[in-house]
Each structure stands twice: as C-alpha cells, then as structure tokens.
Amino acid sequence: MSPWVIETERLTRRFGSKTALDDLSLRVARGGVHAIVGANGAGKSTLFRILLGFMQPDAGSASVLGLPADRLRAQDRGRIGFVNEEHHLPGWMPVRELVALQHQQYAARWREAPLNQVLSFFQVLPQQRVGELSRGERAGLSLGLALAQGPELLLLDEPTLGLDVVAKRAFLDALMQVGLEQGCTIIYCSHLMDEIERLAEQLIVIERGRLRYQCEPEALCQRVRLWQVEFPFQTPSLRDLPGLLSHQPLGGLTELLLLDQSEEQVRAQLQQRGAARMASMGVSLDRAINGLLAQCHAGTALHTEWA
C-alpha cells in the first residue's frame, strides 16, 4: 500500500494564459488533518478537481489512495468524501430519501452512525426537505453524507464558508469527533486561520500553483519572528531585507515579519539601515501564515524555500 494518500508529480494545469497549477509536486502521508492554505487563485480548488478526477491536468500526474486520479472507478471514488462550500444537494428531496439514495450508492462501506451523529448535532430531521434547511444545516448534512460513505480520504474545500460562528463550531466539532474517529485522512482547505489553528497537524502552503511549504504548524511559527524597530530618522526602504514577509508602521515604530533569519543577522541588517532600537518576538500561527500569504500576494522572491 502506498504510504501517500495523495501524490502529485510536476502537476500542471493552465486556463488560457493563466497557470493554476505549476509543476506541483506534493506528497501527503496517510492519517491526520492536513490544511491547504494559499492566497485566492493559488490553485487549491483546481488541485481538488484533478484529485477527484473531475478535471485533467495539462502535464504531470496525480494519484489518490495509490490510484491514478484520472482513472478512478466509481468504487474508488466512494473511498473519497468531498465537501465544498456550495453543498450541492437536491433541494426538492426529503433528507430521508437523499440518505436512502446515498446508502444505496455506497452500500458496501455505508456507516449510519456518523451520519446520525452529525444530523442530530445539527438537528436535521429526516422529513425535512433539503431546500428548507439553513446553510449551516446543509453543511452538516453534506458532512454527514460524506462521513457515512466511510471515506479513507476526506477532501474539504472551504466547507464552512458563510456559516455563523455557532454553525462553524458545530461543523468542526462534528468533523473532529466523527471524522477522526473513523481514521480517515482529512485535507482541509480554508482561509480561516482559527480553523487551521484548531485542526491542522500539517500545513501545505501553495503559492501560484506551486508548493511553498509543507511542515507542522509549530515548525512554521518557529521560523517566523516579529520585529518592532524604531528608525529615529526616515524609515528606509526595507524591500531588500533578507527574509522579509511584510512590514507596516505601528505608532512611531515599524513592525517587520521575517522568515528564517538569525537575531544577529537581523540586528546587523537593521543597524546598517539606521535602526536605533529593536526587539523581536515569536508569532502565532495566524500571524505567520498571514505573513506568508501577504508575501505571496506581493510576489516578492523568497530568500529561503522549503518544500
């Protein structure tokens, strides 16, 4: 059995002049929750579409559960659960009928218990029509159906988009309680840092269709430091500062986020630029990821890469 739940090799997908995935080589080990983060348009949904066999790459290859993604059979697809923010479900159908239909389709692996657990979590009733459900309840139903498939891999593409804080918490609680109990690998794509912070055991950062970082959240936090610096005269240009992720004024100070720099190097660099006083501190995961994404948006070159 392949140790990788997902493996892509130089995966490339273009849309006209846009390159959504650019030579993306990625390996995801089985088990746990892996969060994919990236700026808007980084290629996350395109990657999911290819992994699910909904779209073909222009070059490179992708395999899921050790099988080529472009040749998944119906029974292989049944091993992969998918939930996205749209929760495409037939509105006219009563929940009971939809559940029966899915049960029929995934009979071999069907697990009623996680579905019932999620439905009671969201207080969804069997006789309700899907179209009458609130957005949060539909999200719960989508998750419940995906879990009932008994998936080995669960792909979640911004599943809590548009949910209020209570529904979001209920969704994540259900996911953690039920999804992880089932032992499936969860790949979670989100822009919401509180969710990433709560769920992710591994982080995958994609920038413009390329893999930039794959590491544990704590490892990323250790690599990013926040500096508060006082420039008594004019603030110099900081664009060429090694490891710079972002900078912004804060009162009379300048705040800098720097990646992979030693204290001594930074102090020397800042003193050269006229800094009078400076202090450095650790950052939360939220801040570290936001710094990386800000840098991705700015399109500045990385001084270090690890992927």
Ligand X SMILES: Nc1ncnc2c1ncn2[C@@H]1O[C@H](COP(=O)(O)OP(=O)(O)OP(=O)(O)O)[C@@H](O)[C@H]1O
Residues in Cβ contact with 132 at an 8 Å cutoff, skipping those fewer than 6 apart: none
Query: Please, what is the minimum distance in Å from the beta carbon of residue 147 to ligand X?
Result: 23
| Residue located via tokens 């509105």 | 91
Strand partners, 224: 259
Piece of the chain touching ligand X by CB under 6 A; list 35-43, 143-151, 237-245, 271-279: 35-43
Rounded Cα–Cα distance for residues 34 and 204 (Å): 7
CB of 148 to ligand X, least distance (A): 26
Q: Does 297 bind ligand X (CB under 6 A)?
A: no
Stretch that binds ligand X, among 37-45, 72-80, 97-105, 295-303 (CB under 6 A): 37-45
Nearer to ligand X, 79 or 210 (CB): 210
Q: Which stretch binds ligand X (CB under 6 A): 33-41, 87-95, 133-141, 192-200?
A: 33-41
Instruction: Please give the angle made by the CA atoms of 173, 174 and 179, to the nearest 5 degrees.
Output: 115
Q: Least distance in Å: CB of 44 to ligand X?
A: 4
CA 147 vs CA 3, 150, 192, 276: distances in Å:
22, 5, 22, 57
Establish if 293 lies at the interface with ligand X (CB under 6 A): no
Taking the C-alpha atoms of residue 130 and residue 123, their distance in angstroms, rounded to an integer, is 13
Task: Compute the distance between CA of residue 86 and CA of residue 104 in angstroms, rounded to an integer.
Answer: 23
Check: CB of residue 4 under 8 Å from CB of residue 30: yes
Q: Minimum Å distance from CB 297 to ligand X? A: 12
Under rule CB under 6 A, residue 229 binds ligand X = no
Site mask, ligand X, residues 177-196, x = CB under 6 A? --------------------
- Describe the strand order of the beta sheet including 244-250 as a list of residue ranges: 244-250, 253-259, 224-230, 277-282
Binding mask 119-158 for ligand X (x = CB under 6 A): ----------------------------------------
CB atoms within 10 A of CB 150: 17
Nearest to 88 by CA among 155, 139, 53, 136: 139
| Closest distance to ligand X from the beta carbon of 208 (Å) | 9
The DSSP string of 175-190 is IIIIIHHTT-EEEEE-
In the bound state with ligand X, the residue whose beta carbon lies nearer, of 43 and 140, is 43
Residue with tokens 């500062």: 241
Binding mask 38-77 for ligand X (x = CB under 6 A): x-xxxxxxx-------------------------------
Number of residues that bind ligand X (CB under 6 A): 11
Report the phi/psi class of residue 40: left, alpha or beta, with left for phi > 0 and alpha for psi in -120 to 50.
Answer: beta
Binding mask 10-29 for ligand X (x = CB under 6 A): -----x--x-x---------
Closest contact distance (angstroms) between CB of 61 and ligand X is: 18
**At closest approach, how far in Å is the CB of 50 from ligand X?**
10
One-letter identity of residue 22: D
Interaction of residue 205 with ligand X, rule CB under 6 A: no
Query: Where along the sequence are the contacts to ligand X (CB under 6 A)?
Result: 15, 18, 20, 38, 40-46
